[in-house]
Amino acid sequence: MYFDNAATTPLSNSMKDYIISLLDEFGNPSSIYSVGERAKSIIENSRDSVAKFINAESNNIYFTSGGSASNTLAVKGYYEKHNCSVLYSPTCHKSILECVKHLRRASPIKVDNAGNIDFNDLKEWLRSYSDDFLVVIEYANSEIGTVQDIKRISDLIHFYNAKVYVDCTGSVSQIPLDVKKMNIDMAGFSGHKLGALKGCGVLYKKSDISLEPIVYGSQEDGYIGGTENVIGIASIGKAVEEHNYSNISSSNRDYVGRFISENISGSYILGNPVCRLPYNLNVCFPGVEGESLVRIMDHADNIQISAGSACNSREIAPSPTLLAINVDNNDVHSCVRITFSGNESKGDLDKLCESLKRHVTILRNLKSR
C-alpha cells in the first residue's frame, strides 16, 4: 500500500491510455510541416489547460523539465537578470536551497516552529533595505504540510515593490492555485505530483517579469532551450483537466493522526495543526529511527511511507525543514511523512495504523536492549 503520494503519484488508467495514444506523435514542434504542427498543437492545448487550471493567461505559461527546473529558472534567472537580493524560506525545497547557495545576496526569512513565515521578519527585511528583492516561498511545505497565507504575504511584498516566486509543487495536487487572486508574480510546479509523467513541469510568470535563461535556445520564448518533451507536456494538460479539488478531504489524514496520538505513546505531529495540506501527516516517534521504520514497514507489510521529503530521504544529514522549525536534535531522525491519495479504504488505513504501532514498538524495544 502506497502512502507516499507527496513523492510522486501513480498514473491513472486514463492517463496511461492517453500516453499510449500519443506514442506515434514523434514530430519536432519547431518543424513547420504537418507532423511538427501536430506536436506544436498538443503543446499549445496543454498550455491552455494549465492556464485555465491556475487562472492565468496562456502566454504566461512555460513548460520546463520539472519542478526543480522551474525553481531554478525563476530564482536564478530573476537574480541574474535584475542583480537583486533574494529572501527565501529555510523550509524551501532542496533545489531552491542549493540554488541560493550560489547567489551572493541571499538571506533566509525566519519561520516559526510550525513552519509559518514570520511576517514581521519579512516586513523588517523589506522595510529596512533599499535592495530590489525577490522573495522565494512555498505555497505549502511538502514535508510537514504547513500552508502559507500567500495572498497576505504577496500583498506585503508588493507594498514594498518587491517580487515573489511561489513554489507550488508540494501543494498543487491538494489545494487550488489562483495566481491572479493571490497576486503572484511567478509560480512553478511539477507534473508528476499531479499524476502526469516525470520530467515535465510548469513555470508561470507575469508578462512584465524578465528572466535570464539557464539553458539557452529558442523554445518557450527563449527561456528554456531544447526540443520540448511533447508527451510529458501533454500529460500535464491531461492531468490538470482531470483533477478535481472538490473530492479532496482531510478525513483519512485525521483518522490516522487520531490513532497515532491515542495509541502510540510519545508521538507528536509536526506542522501547522490547522493550515496544513489535507493529505499530509508528518509524525515524530521519539526513540525510533525514521529510516528503519520506513524499511521495516516496506519489507514486512508492503506499506510505503517516507522518512521526510523524497529529495532528502536518502541523505544522512537531518532535514533542513526540521532544523528550521527547531525539532529537537534527538528527534530529528525520528520523523516520518505519510501522504494520502484520498482513495484509501478504511481497511487500508487500519492496516497502516496497525503496522505503525507494531513496528514502532518493535524498534523501541530493540533500542532499549
CATH number at residue 268: 3.90.1150.10
pLDDT bucket at 222, cuts 50 / 70 / 90: confident
Catalytic residue among 92, 168, 311, 335: 311
Q: Is the pLDDT of residue 220 over 60?
A: yes
CA dihedral 264, 269, 274, 277 (to 10 degrees): -110
User: pLDDT averaged over the chain?
Assistant: 95
pLDDT bucket at 312, cuts 50 / 70 / 90: low
Please state the rounded mean pLDDT for residues 62-83. 97
Partners of residue 276 on adjacent β-strands: 146
Task: Domain of residue 326: give its range.
Answer: 248-368
Is residue 229 in some structural domain? yes
147 and 54 housed in the same domain: yes
Dist. CA 13–CA 19, nearest whole Å: 10
> pLDDT per residue over 239-291, tens digit each?
999 999 999 999 999 999 999 999 999 999 999 999 999 999 999 999 999 99
Is residue 3 in some structural domain? no
233 and 352 housed in the same domain: no
236 and 279 housed in the same domain: no
- Active site annotation includes 311: yes
CA atoms 290, 292, 298, 300: torsion sign: negative
**Which run of H or of E encompasses 21?**
helix 13-21
Give me the pLDDT at residue 311, please.
Answer: 54
Is residue 4 in some structural domain? no
Give me the pLDDT at residue 243, please.
Answer: 96
227 and 133 housed in the same domain: yes
Task: Report the Cα–Cα distance between both ends of the chain, in Å, rounded.
Answer: 31
Q: Is the pLDDT of residue 3 over 60?
A: yes
Q: DSSP code of 102?
A: T
Is residue 156 in some structural domain? yes
Dist. CA 56–CA 264, nearest whole Å: 45
Is residue 6 in some structural domain? no
Q: Report how far Cα 96 is from the mean position of its chain's Cα atoms.
A: 11
Q: In terms of pTM, does the model score above 0.75?
A: yes
Count of domains observed in the chain = 2
91 and 152 housed in the same domain: yes
> pLDDT per residue over 324-340, tens digit each?
999 999 999 999 999 99
Q: Is the pLDDT of residue 158 over 80?
A: yes
Dist. CA 311–CA 97, nearest whole Å: 12
Dist. CA 72–CA 137, nearest whole Å: 13
57 and 162 housed in the same domain: yes
Is residue 308 in some structural domain? yes
Q: For residues 28 and 245, which has the higher predicted lDDT (pLDDT)?
A: 245
> pLDDT per residue over 73-124, tens digit each?
999 999 999 999 999 999 999 999 999 999 999 999 999 999 999 999 999 9
Residues shown for the chain: 369
Q: Is the pLDDT of residue 369 over 80?
A: no
83 and 29 housed in the same domain: yes
Q: Which of 183, 210, 242 is the last residue of a domain?
A: 242
pLDDT bucket at 129, cuts 50 / 70 / 90: confident
